[in-house]
Amino acid sequence: MVALMGYYTSQAQEVGVFFAPHFSKTYGDNNAGTSAVVGNGFNVGVGYGQYLNKNFSIHIEPSYSQYYTQSRMKSFNGNLKAVDRDNDAFILRYKGGQVKEKVTLKQLNIPLMLQYETAGESVRFFVKSGVSYSLHLEDAVARTKMGSLSTSGYYSEYDIELHGPHFVGFGDFSGTTKNNEIELKNRWAYVAEIGVKQLMSDKSSLYVGMYFDIGLNNLANEGTAEEGASTSLVGYDRDLENPLIINSNLQSNLGKMTYKNYNLGIKVKYSFNINKTKKRSHTLD
Asked whether residue 125 carries a pLDDT value surpassing 90, the answer given is yes
- Kindly give the pairing relationship between strand 123-136 and strand 187-199: antiparallel
In the prediction, which pLDDT does 231 show?
67
Q: What is the pLDDT of residue 94?
A: 92
In the predicted model, is pLDDT for residue 257 greater than 80? no
Look at residue 205 in the predicted model and tell me its pLDDT.
93
pLDDT number for residue 280: 44
Average pLDDT over residues 224-249: 74
pLDDT at 218: 86
- Write down the pLDDT at residue 124: 94
- The pLDDT tens digits for 38-70 are 889 999 999 999 999 889 999 999 999 999 888
Kindly state the average pLDDT of the residues 198-202: 89
For residue 7, the model assigns a pLDDT of: 47
Segment 3-30 mean pLDDT: 74
pLDDT-based confidence at residue 137 (cuts at 50, 70, 90): very high
More confident residue, 238 or 62: 62
Q: What is the CATH number of domain 2-274?
A: 2.40.160.20
**Looking at per-residue confidence, does 77 or 116 come out higher?**
116
- Summarised one tens digit per residue, pLDDT across range 143-164 is 999 999 999 999 998 889 999 8
Write a three-state SS string for the chain: CHHHHHHCCCCCEEEEEEEEEEEEEEECCECCCEEEECEEEEEEEEEEEEECCCCEEEEECCEEEEEEEEEEEEEEEEEEEEECCCCCEEEEEEEEEEEEEEEEEEEEEEEEEEEEECCCCCEEEEEEEEEEEEEECCCEEEEEEEEEEEEEEEECCCCEEECCCHHHCCEECCCCEEEEEECCCCEEEEEEEEEEEEECCCCEEEEEEEEEEEECCCCCCHHHCCCCCCCCCEEECCCCCCCEEECCHHHHCCCCECCEEEEEEEEEEEEEEEECCCCCCCCCC
CB neighbourhood size of 227 (10 A) = 6
pLDDT at 270: 96
Mean pLDDT of the chain: 84
Q: Which amino acid is at 137?
A: L
Ranking 29-33, 71-75, 211-215 by mean pLDDT, the lowest is: 29-33
Dihedral of CA atoms 111, 262, 182, 44 in degrees, nearest 10, equals 50
Residue 282 has pLDDT above 60, yes or no: no
> Rounded to whole angstroms, what are the CA distances from 256 to 29, 33, 246, 248, 253?
8, 10, 18, 13, 5
